[in-house]
Amino acid sequence: MGKPKAHIQEIHYLRAIACIWVLLVHVSASFYFENGETYNELTLFINQISRFGTPIFALISGFLLFYQTRTKGFKLKKFAVSRFTKIGVPFIFWSIFYLLFMYFVQGANPFESGKRLFLINFAFGNSFYHLYFMSIVFQFYLLFPLLQLFRSKKSWIFLLAGAILINIYSLKVYNPGQFEGIWQVILSQRAFLPSWIFFFIFGGFTAYYWEPLSQFSKKNKKFLGAGVVILTVMAVVEYKIIGSIPSNRATNMINIPIITLFMMGIGEDIRKINWLEICLSKIGSLSMAIYLVHPFVLLTFQSLAPKSIWSTVNFPFVFALILSGTIGVVKLIQLLPYNQYLLTVPKVKDKKPEKVKRLKKLEAESNTA
């Protein structure tokens, strides 16, 4: 295994794509509600085909944790403090924020079902429709220290195989209806880790096999691109037959690895397109902040926008407005003191010094020629 790089730009690109997909799901859902709870062919396509975003976020969460373990080792105390600061505090803050927002705007009482159910809903990210993912990540954090037992590349093959079996069992066989009372509520949650475990473990697998997978992806990017086209067509066939499909469906255990490998393969091509590289790097670095904030921006826009804006022809405009508006709100929050406890924004390595070095090297070589 080669020496791992300290920074992998392709992850920012992949994270940006996942972020855009998540926003597309929620913006298209707004068009659904604003048009009498009906989709047309375009908004349904956008809503369903964009459901690759959340599992990719899960994959990236696993990848970053395990890749950091490869490069820097694992210290339990540091891990616990870091995760609570970067994910735990923002999760608690935004859960309370959205509960208060819905209470004052729509009069929704979070304690209507009782205190016990309120606590369960809060813990599983049901304070608002997008926060369930944060709960899944927390559950994975509880498992992560045990996964430090798997440090060899060979062990990760068996771990990935086990994750596939667990995920399929959870989706296809497991029935929470066999339980009663509070346990049935807990075990039937959307944020049930076994139903998502493959994506986290595949992220770890990718972290330990990054170098050979990266080489494979670059050599086969055309075939992987064709694979992305095929899986897109198959995803359309799938929702046409089954209807609306969830983000953690079993077929995404095939789709997400292909998409991930394709993005790994075209990373160098993206870097050659300056405007695209800048956009994806910026969105990728702000992706978790955008994820937390965008429902507030979208709801505010829905309450203020005229009915005529929800024509399908305006979809690109509405999407661009929600994305840019969310980034604007994120930037305003970053001006606040202690904003690092409200939003998670990773640092992006400055590539300018590297470009300067390359230019100087080329200049020196041309002078000696």
Q: What is the pLDDT along the chain (369 residues), one digit of tens a residue?
A: 455 565 688 999 999 999 999 999 999 999 999 999 999 999 999 999 999 999 999 999 999 999 998 888 899 999 999 999 999 999 999 999 999 999 998 888 888 888 899 999 999 999 999 999 999 999 999 999 999 988 888 999 999 999 999 999 999 998 887 777 888 888 889 999 999 999 999 999 999 999 999 999 999 999 999 999 999 999 999 999 999 889 999 999 999 999 999 999 999 999 999 999 999 999 999 999 999 999 999 999 999 999 999 999 999 999 999 999 999 999 999 999 999 899 988 765 555 555 445 445 445 544 444
State the pLDDT at residue 7. Answer: 61
CA 290, distance to chain mean position in Å, is: 11
Measured in degrees and rounded to the nearest 5, phi and psi for residue 189 equal: -70, 145
Q: What is the pLDDT of residues 231-253, one digit of tens each?
A: 999 999 999 999 988 999 999 99
46 contacts 72 by C-beta, under 8 angstroms: no
State the pLDDT at residue 272. Answer: 94
State the pLDDT at residue 99. Answer: 96
State the pLDDT at residue 191. Answer: 93
- Distance separating alpha carbons of residues 197 and 199, to the nearest angstrom: 6
Single-letter amino acid code for the residue at 73: G
Single-letter amino acid code for the residue at 323: L
